[in-house]
Amino acid sequence: MTSVVGELKADRRSRARRERANRERSEIRARILDAARETLREGTMFDLTMQRLAANVGLSRQTIYRYFPTVQEIFRALSDEVISEIYADLPDLSLSDPNFVPAFVDVALSVFCADSEVVRVLVLASAIGRATGDWVQVDPEEVLSSALSTVPAEHRRVSRDPDVAARVLVTYFRGALYGWAAGFLSDAEFAQEVRKAGSLTVA
């Protein structure tokens, strides 16, 4: 009986240590990403270096590298958070509902503009990564194509073909997105152009 109790206590201590270690890892990762966001708000994508992050977070570069082997991994993690937030907040509507695309656009705009200084840099970093083959960000075309394929054809203004309709919407969206990321459009102008693209696609 004593040995069983001892094993249970040892198991609880071991589990508590693992949970504490996992919490600490999550906290350090979050601190690194917070420092990365702050760096992007103050400068450009080229200001995000391991040396600067280590100094801002108060960790060694070796520690930063354990969590993120490259700067591209930091950009990817930040971008994944943005995309995950969009997908987490997707409207509770059927994809076949004609209101889904406008609601999706509203969610994406809300997330993008909530921290626009950071997201603008992420968009530019993503475009460079896509061009070099180093990093391909999650693209909205897949979800939009799925949505438009279930929207009744009479509600598709540009084309009865859902793939063509999705391509038109994504092309307009990307045009506005890159103009906004480069600083040619304000948040309000970006939102206006993206909503215009949505209204061109779904009636």
Instruction: Give residue-wise pLDDT tens across range 27-45.
Output: 999 999 999 999 999 988 8
Task: Assign residue 44 a region (left: φ > 0; alpha: ψ between -120 and 50; beta: otherwise).
Answer: beta
Q: How many CB atoms sit inside 10 A of residue 183's CB? A: 9
* pLDDT number for residue 62: 93
pLDDT band at 136 (very low <50, low <70, confident <90, very high): low
Classify domain 75-203 by CATH number: 1.10.357
200 vs 124, which has greater pLDDT?
Answer: 124
pLDDT number for residue 44: 86
Statement: the pTM of the whole predicted model exceeds 0.85: no
Q: Are 118 and 41 in contact (CB under 8 A)?
A: yes
Give the pLDDT confidence score for residue 78 in this predicted structure.
92
Distance CA 141, CA 157 (A): 17
Spatial distance between the Cα atoms of 4 and 46, rounded to a whole number of angstroms? 57
Q: Tens digit of pLDDT for each residue in 150-198?
A: 767 676 677 777 777 777 777 888 888 889 999 999 999 999 988 887 7
Q: Looking at the DSSP assignment, which residues form a beta bridge with residue 202? A: 156
Which two tokens mark 32? 């690194």
Domain chopping of the chain, boundaries: 1-69, 75-203
| Spatial separation of the C-alpha atoms in residues 202 and 145, rounded to whole Å | 12
Dihedral of alpha carbons 188, 189, 192, 198, sign: negative
Task: Please give the Cα distance from 79 to 83 (Å, whole number).
Answer: 6
- Identify the pLDDT of residue 194: 85
pLDDT over threshold 80, residue 106? yes
Residues 6+ positions from 84 with CB-CB distance below 8 Å: none
Over residues 121-132, mean pLDDT = 78
CATH architecture of the domain 1-69 equals Orthogonal Bundle (1.10)
For residue 117, give the 3-state DSSP assignment.
Answer: helix
Phi, psi at 135, each rounded to 5°: -160, 125
What does pLDDT average to over the chain? 81
Structure confidence at residue 188 (pLDDT): 95
